[in-house]
């Protein structure tokens, strides 16, 4: 099963490069801690998913690079070429000159329709090169203009054109203390629209990753390279091949999975009175968890802790809500590694924070003229707020 | 990559412009070692094969043949422009990019705006269109002028309306030199207020600068350079005021040091759009992030460091000092104290070897001492450009949309009122066709309305920040 990656904007392209690099490095790692045959199966599965092969054997990433200004894409392409181990397709990029100016409305309403055909064509070409399409992995940030606005537009198009394929959006949650002043507006517009067209939103918060670099890795002067490499490492450890039901040597599971999104049964949601957010979230309830284990002793690992019913909701018990994927092949020279992907209440606080700040700003009407200039009206903002309040409430009520 | 066109108007505008082109060439020469005409250079320069007669000489790629500035030079007297054309920068300008006259505007806004505006409208349009045609993707016009005189003030602001009508999608960033208190032009308050109205209505973004602040910065640097303290030798090229290593090698003129500061401002403003970095900031992002309401588009700027000491190792404390300095009132390019006023938004544009953690650490450190408006408590826009300016390892340009511009405007209004009450010199203006007393009263009320907006925001300063009640939704 192959995955087509769409990298959008500065953030999307910078991270995308690190992801492919991490995937490639890992798959060509010699210390896999497993048999040669196992390693071969792993490597070819990874290759099928993420890379195409050129005539001279150089792997080409299954990716479409999109940005509204050329500097970052040029850098990304040349970094790949310099590494001389893998590269991007020569004609896989779409670039414009002027950027989106951190304006979601510009990315969505102007760049979107204007470049819809070109971008979708590029994606189509990439899809045609796949024997079997597993789905789309769309990397974007929420705070800027291209990743957020154009990314949302493209996702909606993918929903229309490839409705039966999975779409997973990889969203970068900006630092709480501004990278972009209008980041909260851009974020709520992105999230509310994606909720209607994406199948899964995989989130990385800059603040959280920054803390990892600072506290766990003890990096003194943290650069975006460090941050992106951590993110790529985490993604790699989830997306690299794992055994399918048939067991060893059979790496056929779709890395995007099918049990990422769960619909709660409408009739059985318990009604709760009005409690403050912090009260409700003292305990992090999960809807579903996925643990990915790689390396030595993977079969004897004890995951009972994850099966505790107390972690889950009343309407979806651990038998359905908890999954483990394993492979004996070690990831990136780590003898043992584990990754956890969780659909739980952990994002409620950050989401609530963003909605709150955006709401405060919206009440003063600051910056709204920059959006209405390009067709995003106050109504659209209100719709977004309403939808996100519902999301927050639903998660709180788990 | 986009291009920008610089329109320099009047004596002040052209002198600053001249320094700007000088420093721009120096910067690109330092970065572009191979002499290839790349996208970064193309943002401000055209590559022209001078052997080709007429218009066909533009070369878009390959080796640099001859660089021409994307500029339009306008002055109603010939002295300054002629000097530029005879100086070492003469090859950078095309004779077709100039508009000059002989008589000057006599420090009279009305002459600049109404008389010369009318007279030269067609020519101006033609030159602007030409310069736009040479651009692949024109993003921004940078207008440089002074407020206190006649040409820069009057014709410069007349231009803005032309730009808005003819190129509505292109940004108009205006660098305006405001008159200081002891300005020797008596009618400068009139000229400034009349110009302000145009800036209010037709500029996307204004970067006010005043001579007194520039002068203070220079005094500070002189003190540092001449203090002769042990171990504090200043790296020669690093003075923000110097053109050392630039093309103008003759004796620097009195205003050169001050003009170089403004030129550096423009270079740093556009650095992240021209050069690569881990967090880019394009020119359209400046307006998007720093202008919350269309009328409040005046940005206070500060540049640090002013010089680099010759020490090779810059410990982190120096880096942090750079951030602290950016917020001190000594480094602002207008007489203003942002720390004690209210921030509506703030942008930090960092160049050089500075990483995101350095940026965040300093924001966390400085935040508590700054007051932000209630609806923009974390109103920071940041950018990281990898290429430092010539002579420095890193630099910072802080752009603040802050109510501290209010005193400058109020001061101006007071000087205006003092003259206007006595009707002093008014006849010079009223005798120009198209000028009436209503022009003055409208300009005054436009300014008063602006001051009122800032006052209203100031009033919210000490109020506690409350979260507004949110939407309640049915689940």
Q: Which residue has the higher pLDDT, A299 or B475?
A: A299
Q: Token pair for residue B375?
A: 């609806």
Mutation to test the A interface, candidates B282, B348, B379, most A Cβ within 10 Å: B282
Q: Is A264 on the interface with B (CB under 8 A)?
A: no
Q: Residue A111 above 70 pLDDT?
A: yes
Average pLDDT of chain A, as a whole number: 84
Q: Is A121 within the bounds of a domain? A: yes
Asked whether residue A295 falls in the same domain as residue A308, the answer is yes
Cα B321 to chain centroid, rounded: 24
- CA B69 to chain A, closest CA, distance in angstroms equals 20
Instruction: Please write the tens of the pLDDT for every residue from A237-270.
Output: 888 887 765 555 555 555 555 444 444 444 433 3
Asked whether residue A107 falls in the same domain as residue A195, the answer is yes
- CA B145 to chain A, closest CA, distance in angstroms equals 26
Asked whether residue A195 falls in the same domain as residue A328, the answer is no
Question: Which range (A292-301, B33-42, B188-197, B247-256) has the least confidence?
Answer: B247-256
Size of interface A-B (CB pairs under 8 A): 144
Mutation to test the A interface, candidates B171, B375, B379, B460, most A Cβ within 10 Å: B375
Q: What is the pLDDT of residue A140?
A: 95
Asked whether residue A337 falls in the same domain as residue A354, the answer is no
Indicate the residue among A241, A256, A277 that finishes a domain: A241
Average the pLDDT over A44-73 and give the result. 86
Eight-class DSSP state of B423 = T
Residues in chain A with CB shorter than 8 Å from the CB of B296 are none
Residues in chain A with CB shorter than 8 Å from the CB of B384 are 224
Please name the residue of chain A whose CA is at the shortest distance from the CA of residue B282: A101
- CA B291 to chain A, closest CA, distance in angstroms equals 7
Asked whether residue A359 falls in the same domain as residue A226, the answer is no
CA distance A130 to A136: 12
- CA B36 to chain A, closest CA, distance in angstroms equals 16
Q: Is A261 within the bounds of a domain? A: no
Q: Residue B23 above 60 pLDDT?
A: yes
Residue A119 CB coordination number (10 Å): 21
Q: Is A45 on the interface with B (CB under 8 A)?
A: no
User: Which among B301, B356, B102 has a CA at the least distance from the CA of A174?
Assistant: B356
Instruction: Please write the tens of the pLDDT for every residue from B296-308.
Output: 999 999 998 876 5
Mutation to test the B interface, candidates A14, A70, A101, A383, most B Cβ within 10 Å: A101
- CA B349 to chain A, closest CA, distance in angstroms equals 11
Asked whether residue A60 falls in the same domain as residue A96, the answer is yes
The CA-atom distances, in angstroms, between B263 and each of B175, B188, B380 are: 10, 23, 24
Asked whether residue A233 falls in the same domain as residue A308, the answer is no
Average pLDDT of chain B, as a whole number: 86
Residues 275..334 of A with a Cβ closer than 8 Å to B: which?
none
Instruction: Please write the tens of the pLDDT for every residue from A141-179.
Output: 999 899 999 999 999 999 999 988 888 899 999 998 878
Q: In chain A, how many domains are there?
A: 3
Q: Do B357 and A102 touch (CB under 8 A)?
A: no
Q: Do B380 and A179 touch (CB under 8 A)?
A: yes
CA distance A232 to A20: 8
Q: Is A265 within the bounds of a domain? A: no
SS3 A284: coil
Residues in chain B with CB shorter than 8 Å from the CB of A100 are 284
Q: Is A272 on the interface with B (CB under 8 A)?
A: no
Q: Sorting pLDDT into bands at 50, 70 and 90, what band is B194?
A: very high
Instruction: State the maximum Cα–Cα separation within chain B, in Å, rounded to a whole number.
Output: 75
The CA-atom distances, in angstroms, between B133 and each of A192, B5, B213 are: 41, 11, 38
Indicate the residue among A214, A241, A268 that finishes a domain: A241
Q: Is A266 within the bounds of a domain? A: no
- CA A182 to chain B, closest CA, distance in angstroms equals 6
CA distance A106 to A375: 9
User: Which among B90, B103, B189, B111 has a CA at the least distance from the CA of B147?
Assistant: B189
Q: Do B289 and A180 touch (CB under 8 A)?
A: yes
Model's pTM, two decimal places? 0.88
Residues in chain A with CB shorter than 8 Å from the CB of B2 are 69, 97-99
Q: Sorting pLDDT into bands at 50, 70 and 90, what band is B219?
A: confident
Instruction: Please write the tens of the pLDDT for every residue from B406-438.
Output: 999 999 999 999 999 999 899 999 999 888 889
Q: What is the pLDDT of residue A274?
A: 40
Instruction: Please write the tens of the pLDDT for every residue from B311-366.
Output: 444 455 578 888 998 998 888 999 888 888 999 999 999 999 888 888 889 999 99
Mutation to test the B interface, candidates A177, A215, A266, A378, most B Cβ within 10 Å: A177
Q: Do A101 and B294 touch (CB under 8 A)?
A: no
Q: Is A247 within the bounds of a domain? A: no
Q: Residue A218 above 90 pLDDT?
A: no
Q: Is A383 on the interface with B (CB under 8 A)?
A: no
Average the pLDDT over B439-453 and give the result. 94
Q: Is A124 within the bounds of a domain? A: yes
Q: What is the pLDDT of residue B241?
A: 65
Q: What is the pLDDT of residue A1?
A: 79
Domain residues for the domain of A90 are 2-241
Q: Token pair for residue B468?
A: 């507004």
Q: What percent of chain A has pLDDT over 90?
A: 38
Q: Do B471 and A385 touch (CB under 8 A)?
A: yes
CA distance A5 to A232: 13
Mutation to test the A interface, candidates B289, B296, B467, B469, most A Cβ within 10 Å: B289
Q: What is the CA radius of gyration of chain A?
A: 21
For B288, the closest of A182, A210, A220 (CB atoms) is A182
Q: What is the CA radius of gyration of chain B?
A: 22
Q: Is A384 within the bounds of a domain? A: yes
Instruction: Please write the tens of the pLDDT for every residue from A3-39.
Output: 899 999 999 999 999 999 998 888 887 766 777 887 8
For B473, the closest of A220, A223, A386 (CB atoms) is A386
Q: Do A176 and B381 touch (CB under 8 A)?
A: no
Q: What are the DSSP calls for B391-412, one per residue?
A: T-SEEEEEEEEEGGGHHHHHHH
SS (H, E, C) B271-328: HHHHCCCCECCCHHHHHHHHCCCCCCCECEEEEECCCCECCCCCCHHHHHHHHHHHCC
Eight-class DSSP state of A55 = T
Q: Residue A335 above 60 pLDDT?
A: yes
Asked whether residue A149 falls in the same domain as residue A107, the answer is yes
For A70, the closest of B1, B139, B284 (CB atoms) is B1
Residues 186..225 of A with a Cβ closer than 8 Å to B: which?
210, 213-214, 219-225
Residues in chain B with CB shorter than 8 Å from the CB of A77 are none
Asked whether residue A226 falls in the same domain as residue A301, the answer is no
Please name the residue of chain A whose CA is at the shortest distance from the CA of residue B316: A221
Please name the residue of chain A whose CA is at the shortest distance from the CA of residue B348: A179
Contact in structure between A227 and A13 (CB atoms under 8 Å): no
Q: Residue A83 above 80 pLDDT?
A: yes
CATH of the domain at A20: 3.40.50.1440
CA distance A136 to A123: 10
Residues forming a β-bridge with A173: A205
Instruction: Please write the tens of the pLDDT for every residue from B104-124.
Output: 888 999 999 999 999 999 999
Please name the residue of chain B whose CA is at the shortest distance from the CA of residue A358: B375
For B475, the closest of A97, A357, A397 (CB atoms) is A397
Q: Do A177 and B1 touch (CB under 8 A)?
A: no
Cα A330 to chain centroid, rounded: 23
Average the pLDDT over A185-194 and give the result. 94
* Domains, chain B, ordered by start: 3-242+255-406 (3.40.50.1440), 407-460 (1.10.287.600)
> Cis (ω within 30 of 0) for the bond into B305?
yes
Q: What is the pLDDT of residue A252?
A: 53
Contact in structure between A342 and A201 (CB atoms under 8 Å): no
Asked whether residue A300 falls in the same domain as residue A389, the answer is no
Q: What is the pLDDT of residue A200?
A: 85
Q: What is the pLDDT of residue B382?
A: 92
Mutation to test the B interface, candidates A68, A103, A144, A179, most B Cβ within 10 Å: A179
Q: What is the pLDDT of residue A246?
A: 52
Asked whether residue A110 falls in the same domain as residue A211, the answer is yes
Q: What is the pLDDT of residue A251?
A: 54
Q: What is the pLDDT of residue B54?
A: 61
Mutation to test the A interface, candidates B280, B284, B365, most A Cβ within 10 Å: B284
Q: How many residues does chain A have?
A: 398
Please name the residue of chain A whose CA is at the shortest distance from the CA of residue B290: A181
Q: Is A254 within the bounds of a domain? A: no
Instruction: Please write the tens of the pLDDT for every residue from B123-165.
Output: 999 999 999 999 989 999 999 999 998 999 999 999 999 999 9
What is the torsion angle, in degrees rounded to the nearest 10, for the CA atoms of residue B391, residue B337, residue B297 and residue B200? -120
Asked whether residue A202 falls in the same domain as residue A66, the answer is yes
Q: Residue A69 above 80 pLDDT?
A: yes
Q: What is the pLDDT of residue B234?
A: 61
For A369, the closest of B282, B294, B473 (CB atoms) is B294
Q: What is the pLDDT of residue B418?
A: 92
- CA B250 to chain A, closest CA, distance in angstroms equals 37
Q: What percent of chain B has pLDDT over 70?
A: 89
Q: What is the pLDDT of residue B243?
A: 56
């Amino acid at each position: 099963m192959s995955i087509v990656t769409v990298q959008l904007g500065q953030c999307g392209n910078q991270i995308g490069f690190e992801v492919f690099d991490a995937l490639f490095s890992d798959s060509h790692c010699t210390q896999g801690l497993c048999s040669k045959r196992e390693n071969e199966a792993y490597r070819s599965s990874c290759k099928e998913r993420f890379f195409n092969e050129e005539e001279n054997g150089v792997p080409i990433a299954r990716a479409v690079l999109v940005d509204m200004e050329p500097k970052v894409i040029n850098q990304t392409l040349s970094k790949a070429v310099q590494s001389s181990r893998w590269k991007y397709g020569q004609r896989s990029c779409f670039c414009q000159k002027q950027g989106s100016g951190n304006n979601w409305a510009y990315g969505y309403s102007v760049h979107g329709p204007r470049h819809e055909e070109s971008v979708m064509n590029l994606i189509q070409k990439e899809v045609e090169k796949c024997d079997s399409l597993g789905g789309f992995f769309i990397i974007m940030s929420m705070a800027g203009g291209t990743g957020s606005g154009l990314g949302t537009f493209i996702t909606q198009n993918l929903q229309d054109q490839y409705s039966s394929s999975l779409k997973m959006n990889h969203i970068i949650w900006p630092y709480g203390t501004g990278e972009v002043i209008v980041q909260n507006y851009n974020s709520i517009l992105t999230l509310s629209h994606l909720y209607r067209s994406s199948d899964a939103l995989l989130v990385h918060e800059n603040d959280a990753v920054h803390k990892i670099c600072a506290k766990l890795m003890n990096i003194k002067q943290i650069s975006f390279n460090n941050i992106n490499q951590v993110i790529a490492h985490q993604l790699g450890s989830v997306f690299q091949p794992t055994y399918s039901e048939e067991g060893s040597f059979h790496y056929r599971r779709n890395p995007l999975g099918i049990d990422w999104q769960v619909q709660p049964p409408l009739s059985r949601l318990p009604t709760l009175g009005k409690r403050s957010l912090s009260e409700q979230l003292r305990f992090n309830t999960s809807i579903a968890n996925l643990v990915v284990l790689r390396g030595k002793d993977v079969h004897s690992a004890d995951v009972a802790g994850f099966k505790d019913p107390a972690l889950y909701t009343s309407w979806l018990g651990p038998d359905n809500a908890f999954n483990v994927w394993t492979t004996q092949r070690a990831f990136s020279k780590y003898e043992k590694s584990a990754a956890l992907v969780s659909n739980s209440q952990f994002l409620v606080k950050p989401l609530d924070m963003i909605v709150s700040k955006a709401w405060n700003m919206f009440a003063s009407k600051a910056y709204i003229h920059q959006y209405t200039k390009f067709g995003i009206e106050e109504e659209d903002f209100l719709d977004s707020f309403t939808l996100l309040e519902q999301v927050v409430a639903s998660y709180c009520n788990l | 990559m986009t291009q920008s066109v610089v329109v320099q108007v009047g004596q002040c505008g052209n002198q600053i412009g001249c320094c700007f082109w000088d420093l721009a060439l120096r910067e690109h020469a330092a970065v572009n070692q191979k002499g290839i005409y790349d996208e970064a250079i193309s943002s401000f320069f055209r590559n022209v094969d001078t052997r080709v007669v007429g218009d066909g000489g533009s070369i878009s790629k390959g080796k640099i043949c001859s660089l021409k500035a994307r500029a339009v030079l306008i002055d109603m007297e010939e002295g300054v422009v002629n000097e530029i054309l005879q100086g070492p920068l003469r090859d950078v300008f095309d004779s077709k990019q100039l508009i000059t006259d002989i008589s000057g505007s006599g420090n009279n806004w009305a002459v600049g705006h109404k008389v010369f505006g009318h007279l030269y409208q067609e020519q101006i349009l033609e030159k602007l269109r030409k310069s736009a045609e040479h651009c692949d993707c024109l993003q921004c016009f940078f207008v440089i002028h002074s407020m206190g005189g006649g040409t820069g003030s009057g014709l410069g602001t007349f231009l803005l309306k032309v730009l808005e009508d003819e190129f509505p999608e292109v940004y108009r960033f205006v660098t305006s030199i405001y008159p200081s208190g002891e300005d020797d032009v008596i009618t400068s308050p009139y000229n400034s207020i009349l110009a302000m109205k145009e800036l209010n209505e037709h500029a996307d973004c204004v970067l006010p600068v005043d001579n007194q602040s520039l002068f203070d910065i220079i005094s500070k640097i002189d003190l540092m350079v001449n203090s002769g303290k042990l171990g504090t030798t200043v790296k020669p090229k690093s003075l923000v005021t110097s053109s050392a290593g630039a093309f103008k090698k003759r004796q620097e003129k009195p205003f050169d040091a001050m003009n170089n500061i403004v030129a550096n401002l423009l270079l740093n403003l556009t650095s992240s759009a021209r050069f690569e970095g881990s967090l880019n900031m394009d020119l359209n992002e400046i307006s998007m992030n720093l202008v919350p309401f269309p009328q409040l588009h005046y940005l206070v700027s500060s540049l640090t460091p002013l010089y680099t000491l010759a020490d090779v190792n810059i410990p982190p404390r120096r880096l942090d000092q750079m951030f602290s300095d950016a917020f001190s009132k000594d480094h602002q390019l207008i007489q203003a104290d942002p720390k004690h006023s209210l921030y509506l938004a703030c942008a930090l544009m960092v160049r050089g070897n500075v990483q995101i953690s350095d940026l965040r650490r300093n924001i966390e450190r400085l935040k508590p001492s700054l007051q932000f408006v209630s609806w923009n408590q974390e109103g920071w826009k940041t950018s990281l450009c990898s290429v430092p300016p010539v002579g420095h390892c890193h630099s910072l340009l802080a752009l603040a949309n802050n109510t501290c511009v209010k005193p400058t405007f109020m001061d101006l209004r007071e000087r205006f009122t003092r003259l206007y009450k006595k009707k002093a010199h008014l006849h010079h203006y009223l005798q120009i066709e198209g000028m009436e007393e209503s022009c003055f009263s409208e300009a005054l009320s436009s300014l008063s309305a602006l001051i009122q907006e800032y006052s209203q925001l100031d009033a919210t300063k000490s109020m506690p920040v409350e979260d507004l009640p949110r939407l309640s939704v049915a689940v």
